[in-house]
Amino acid sequence: MLEKLTEIFMDYVEIEPEDVKPESYFSQDLGFNSYDFMSMLTGVEDEFGINIPETELANLFTVNDLMKYIESCK
C-alpha cells in the first residue's frame, strides 16, 4: 500500500520514493499544502475505491494515519 500511495504522492509534490515513510507528515515532511492534500485525497479515493469523509480529515496528519484509514475501509 505504501508503494501505491507513494506513486500517488509523487504526482503532487516533488519528492523521491525514499522520502515517504509511514511516520512522514504530509505538510512538514512531504510539502503538501491544503489544496494539494485535498486533491491528492481524491486520487486516493479513486485508487482504493473508498470515500474519505470530511470528519476524517482532522485525523490525517501522517502517511500512517492515511494507511490505517484505508485499512479500516476494507
Partner 1 sequence: MEKIINGTSYECYPLNTSQTFLYYTQLAYTDKVESLNIGMSMQFKGDLDFDVLADAVKDAYKRNEYSRICLTKEGETFLQYILPEDNRTPEIVDLSDMSEAEAYKTIDNWTRQPFNIWESKLNYIKFLKLPCGKSGYYINTYHLQMDAYSAQMFLYDILDLYLAKKGLAPEPKPMRSYVEALKKELAYNGSQRQIEDVMFWKNEIDNFNPIFTDYLRPSRLKEFREKTGNPNLRAAGVCGAQSEGNVIKFSLTAEETKQITDFAEQNKVSVPCILMTGLRCALSSFNERESNISFRLMLNRRATLLEKRSGGTTVNFVNMRSDVPEETSFLDTVKDYAAYQNKIFKHSDLNYVKLLQLQAEKDKNPPLYIYEAIGFSYWSPMAHALPEDIKNNMDLILYSNHASQQNLYISIFHRPQDNALEFCFEYLMNEKPEEDLKDLYAAMKKSMLMGTSDGNITLGKILDNLN
**Contacts to partner 1 by CB under 8 A:** 10-14, 27-28, 31, 33-36, 38-42, 54, 57-58, 61
Torsion, Cα 29 30 34 36, to 10 degrees, reads 180
Tell me if 2 sits within 8 A of 39, measured CB to CB.
no
Q: Minimum distance between the CB of residue 35 and partner 1, rounded to whole angstroms?
A: 6
Phi, psi (degrees; rounded to nearest 5) at 61? -100, -35
Q: Minimum distance between the CB of residue 62 and partner 1, rounded to whole angstroms?
A: 11
Q: Minimum distance between the CB of residue 41 and partner 1, rounded to whole angstroms?
A: 8
